[in-house]
Amino acid sequence: MDLGITGRVALVTGGSSGLGLASAKSLAREGCNVCVSARNPERLAEAVVELQEFGGVVHAVLADVEDPEAAPRVVAETREVLGPVDILVANAGGPPPGRFVDMGPDEWDIAVQRNLLGTVRLMHAVLPDMRSRGWGRIVTITSRSVREALDGLALSNATRSAVAGIVRTVAREVGGEGVLVNNVLPGPFDTDRLRSMVGDDEGLVLAANGVPLGRVGRAEELGDVVAFLASERASFVNGVSLLVDGGESRVIA
């Protein structure tokens, strides 16, 4: 199926590894010109080499979304090199795990800057061009904790849910202007983030215990969902927080 986004300009933050890189690859495979942004220069350089294999134009910007100046700078550089951003994939590494009673002001400040305000600033930076041209796609990558609060993930439960509220709000405000805004809620995926939390391959097996499919997800499976939401084919999907967790969550709505 042709997703209809060949030649579109996509910006993916947190795009040097994990679910961000998988999303960038899926978009590049569909013919997008891709800018990836991340804070690790070595990983970013490796990501560019991998993305160039798909034949489109690839650019990279070293940046940390916690920095209030990062979003406008990254978007401006993308516009200068590739053109105005058509597709934004707002992704950032999750906040550290821990209970609410163990988290102090510093941990909250970092989580809010990275996982909430970083996304807000990116959306503000790309929306003027999208609205003026009457087409745009914004996809945020958060967590299934939006639907089902997870024990030991106080920071994620709070900040990810706030992003979901913003997505729903902005989707209603700009959907009539051709800009669609959606949120993806990953369950357990085989990424460095999950491995850092569970420890080893045995830990991955344990992480899959609650998944009806009997395994954790592959990053490219999430990337393909993101590419679909960013496409012409998803033209009536707006304001959604979509679980991609192999059926692990028990929530109905």
Question: How much is the pLDDT for 205?
Answer: 56
Question: How much is the pLDDT for 130?
Answer: 98
Question: How much is the pLDDT for 200?
Answer: 62
* C-alpha closest to that of 238 among 185, 187, 186, 174: 174
Residue 51 domain flag? yes
Residue 216 domain flag? yes
Residue 89 domain flag? yes
Residue 213 domain flag? yes
Residue 4 domain flag? no
Residue 230 domain flag? yes
pLDDT average per 10 residues of sequence, the chain (253 residues): 95 96 98 97 97 96 95 98 98 90 94 95 98 98 92 94 97 98 92 65 64 88 98 98 89 70
Listing DSSP states for 11-76 in one string gives: EEETTTSHHHHHHHHHHHHTT-EEEEEES-HHHHHHHHHHHHTTSS-EEEEE--TTSTTHHHHHHH
Domains identified in the chain, total number: 1
* Angle, CA of 218, 242 and 48, to the nearest 5°: 45
Residue 198 domain flag? yes
Question: How much is the pLDDT for 217?
Answer: 86
Question: How much is the pLDDT for 214?
Answer: 84
- Which domain covers residue 181, as residue numbers? 9-242
Quote the pTM value: 0.94
User: Residue 32 sits in a domain of what CATH number?
Assistant: 3.40.50.720
Question: How much is the pLDDT for 250?
Answer: 80
Residue 247 domain flag? no
